[in-house]
Amino acid sequence: MSAIERVAIIGGGVIGAGWVARFIENGIDVAIYDPAADAVAKVEAVLVNSRYAYKKLVKVQRRQEGSVTFCDSLVDAVSNAHLIVESVPERLEIKQSVYAEVERHAGRDAIIVSSTSGIMPSDLQSKMDTPERLLVAHPFNPVYLLPLVELVGGRKTSPTVIDRAKAFYSSIGMQPLLVKKEIEAFIADRLLEAIWRESLWLVKDGVATTEDIDDAVRFGFGLRYAQMGVFDTYRVAGGEAGMRHFMEQFGPCLKWPWSKLTDVPEFNEALVDLIATQSDQQSGHLSIREMERIRDDNLIGILRALKGNNWGAGKTLANHEVRLLEAANDPN
Amino acid sequence: MSAIERVAIIGGGVIGAGWVARFIENGIDVAIYDPAADAVAKVEAVLVNSRYAYKKLVKVQRRQEGSVTFCDSLVDAVSNAHLIVESVPERLEIKQSVYAEVERHAGRDAIIVSSTSGIMPSDLQSKMDTPERLLVAHPFNPVYLLPLVELVGGRKTSPTVIDRAKAFYSSIGMQPLLVKKEIEAFIADRLLEAIWRESLWLVKDGVATTEDIDDAVRFGFGLRYAQMGVFDTYRVAGGEAGMRHFMEQFGPCLKWPWSKLTDVPEFNEALVDLIATQSDQQSGHLSIREMERIRDDNLIGILRALKGNNWGAGKTLANHEVRLLEAANDPN
């Protein structure tokens, strides 16, 4: 079974292009296929961001980048690839037709991964001849900086393929998280969806503006979430009395009227208007490119600040990211 | 009307003690009353953490600390205070009895704030003779490092009092967020409650362990939330097509089966066992004191990393925190 040295990417949107950036930074050659007229320009724009970011993140000489080849057909892209990354729109039938074509032209050993953020891998693989080699590898934007990738196998996915994928993503500076049971939207997006719904209620009911909510996150618990997650935060809140004590105190709150979550807000034009207008007031003075640059500068600062701090069990926060990018003699 | 130079704190738990730390770091004298036998020791333990943190956060000579006086009675604590901070347990009748005693002994101009994380200020002030001077000022743990404080007025709170409170919290390096409508649990805790419920489902259903969920947060969207919040993140995700485009794409997902949020998990002994056991496996090798130190080291790194980066409109992320703590000539 071959090492993964050549990757094909089908779809050059913000996720596909982010994958290109991460792979080439790790010396892996990439062939990309996207039939859109502006695909090359869009990918190049992401590479401008990622090269700027890596240069700032890594203070020492970086390794030679892998190559990027824009292909005119899916066949050209996949025929020599060890790994094929599907990053096309979130519609099952489009994805299934891509897999059918990939199966006709890719090597038998090649692993096929989907970047889907919600569709279950058992559905993705249901019409494949070789379903055992498909899994979900769900990344987070910006793919070239955020370490997390959720790995989800379907009913027919081979455990060996999952093991290979896990080792591979670790080797390119990522934090693979194996989702233990197949479930729609996996783990992180379920949490994000929960916050999103509650946020919509708060704006709709006039309790807060979009900017108020962003401030409530980034000046408060967001600073904890960058390092601790949900449960370790509460473990500390429980103090020496422990997690059980915290649970027993906090548990009854589930029945309190503390959220609208048991209902779903009606998604209509008025709500879209309200959110879009407030968002323009909040950040309309910045272009998306400017916002991406500020975001990436902040992420770089956070990743560098956290790289030396351990959260137990040999797990170094963000070190997976930095370890492979920095030489041992980097003084920072 | 007096400037706020002397503060009384009623209740020396982790929040009350965190307030002590933040106030004295800003040169404000504090009088604290807590009848518990171990109150002094608990406050001193928090001050060990906060002094360590401020020393690391602020590389230049810091100002002279305010004084801390442990009082034997509520009367002694409040009689000379310009601001009285109530941080007693989350039970309405306890808090109301504290306010009654405060009203008998505090100066007429003194502002009274509650640290409650969920009770509505109109309920808190309902039995007061001078309800106009009470509001909620809800901080986040660790109070001495996280900038956010939610300000919530009740039906009878004077707008002048809210204005004074807002100016005061800004002056001690915090980010006051005025909650526009009174609502239980205010803003941030509603979002946290949403994530908490969904997390409990994921653990209960065996999709993820507590550690998986923490990893999904801290290696992924937590790194964005430390700076961007909910809506700006999606604004960038929408790209140049804008927030309206993003909303129209993402909106229909509200109806998808992407979370269990429309139901509330049953909170029973089995669930408490499951969470507490997994949390012990995850972090039981660290004492709470060790976890607090790692958390604070990480927060300091994040705050320092972000202090130079703007998110528009003159708002400098975490700068509210750092500005007042650092002299202008700090090279970092």
CATH number, domain with residue B46: 3.40.50.720
pLDDT given at position B41: 95
Q: What is the pLDDT of residues B31-56, one digit of tens each?
A: 999 999 999 999 999 999 999 888 88
Q: Out of A62-71, A92-101, A318-327, B271-280, give the one with best mean pLDDT.
A: A92-101
Question: Which among A200, A220, A230 has the least Cβ separation from residue B214?
Answer: A230
Same domain, B195 and B258: yes
Q: What is the pLDDT of residues B112-123, one digit of tens each?
A: 999 999 899 999
**Is A196–B310 a contact, with Cβ atoms under 8 angstroms apart?**
no
**Is A258–B185 a contact, with Cβ atoms under 8 angstroms apart?**
yes
Question: Which among A194, A217, A285 has the least Cβ separation from residue B197?
Answer: A194
Residue B310 lies in a domain: no
Count of CB contacts below 8 A, A vs B?
Answer: 414
Question: Which among A181, A253, A302 has the least Cβ separation from residue B305?
Answer: A302
**Is B282–A232 a contact, with Cβ atoms under 8 angstroms apart?**
yes
Last residue of a domain, one of A178, A197, A226: A178
Which chain A positions have a beta carbon within 8 Å of B175's beta carbon?
215, 219
Q: What is the mean pLDDT of residues B6-28?
A: 94
Residue for token digits 């704006």? Answer: A203
Which chain A positions have a beta carbon within 8 Å of B255's beta carbon?
264, 267
Residue A302 lies in a domain: no
Q: What is the mean pLDDT of residues A214-219?
A: 90
Which chain B positions have a beta carbon within 8 Å of A320's beta carbon?
219
Which chain A positions have a beta carbon within 8 Å of B222's beta carbon?
222, 225-229
CA distance B209 to A328: 33
Same domain, A19 and A141: yes
CA distance A143 to B284: 32
- pTM for this prediction: 0.89
B310-315 CB contacts, 8 Å cutoff, 24+ apart: B310/A294, B311/A218, B311/A283, B311/A294, B311/B227, B311/B228, B311/B232, B312/A282, B312/A283, B312/A285, B312/A286, B313/A285
**Is B242–A185 a contact, with Cβ atoms under 8 angstroms apart?**
no
B217 pLDDT band, cuts 50/70/90, is: very high
CATH number of the structural domain spanning residue B224: 1.10.1040.10
- Per the structure, the complete domain to which residue B231 belongs is given by 188-285
Last residue of a domain, one of A117, A147, A178: A178
**Is B188–A216 a contact, with Cβ atoms under 8 angstroms apart?**
yes
Question: Which among B199, B294, B313 has the least Cβ separation from residue A311?
Answer: B294
**Is B282–A231 a contact, with Cβ atoms under 8 angstroms apart?**
yes
Residue B245 lies in a domain: yes
Give the nearest chain B residue to A217 (CA atoms).
B229
Residue B53 lies in a domain: yes
Q: Which residue has the higher pLDDT, B228 or B169?
A: B169
Give the nearest chain B residue to A298 (CA atoms).
B306
pLDDT given at position A250: 66
Count structural domains, chain A: 2
Q: What is the mean pLDDT of residues A57-70?
A: 84
At B293, list the tokens. 């130190």
Residue B292 lies in a domain: no
Last residue of a domain, one of B178, B203, B236: B178
Same domain, B17 and B125: yes
Give the nearest chain B residue to A119 (CA atoms).
B258
Cis omega before residue A142 (within 30°)? yes
Comparing A99-113, A200-214, B273-287, B315-329, the range with the smallest average pLDDT is: B315-329
Q: What is the pLDDT of residues A32-50, one digit of tens each?
A: 999 999 999 999 999 999 9
Residue A39 lies in a domain: yes
Same domain, B137 and B259: no
Smallest CA–CA separation between A291 and chain B, in Å?
7
pLDDT given at position A64: 87
Residue A304 lies in a domain: no
Residue B49 lies in a domain: yes
CA-nearest of A145, A100, A171 to A300 is A145
Smallest CA–CA separation between A328 and chain B, in Å?
21
Quote the ipTM score: 0.90
Same domain, B76 and B168: yes
Q: Which residue has the higher pLDDT, A238 or B22?
A: B22
Smallest CA–CA separation between A330 and chain B, in Å?
18
CA distance B194 to A197: 9
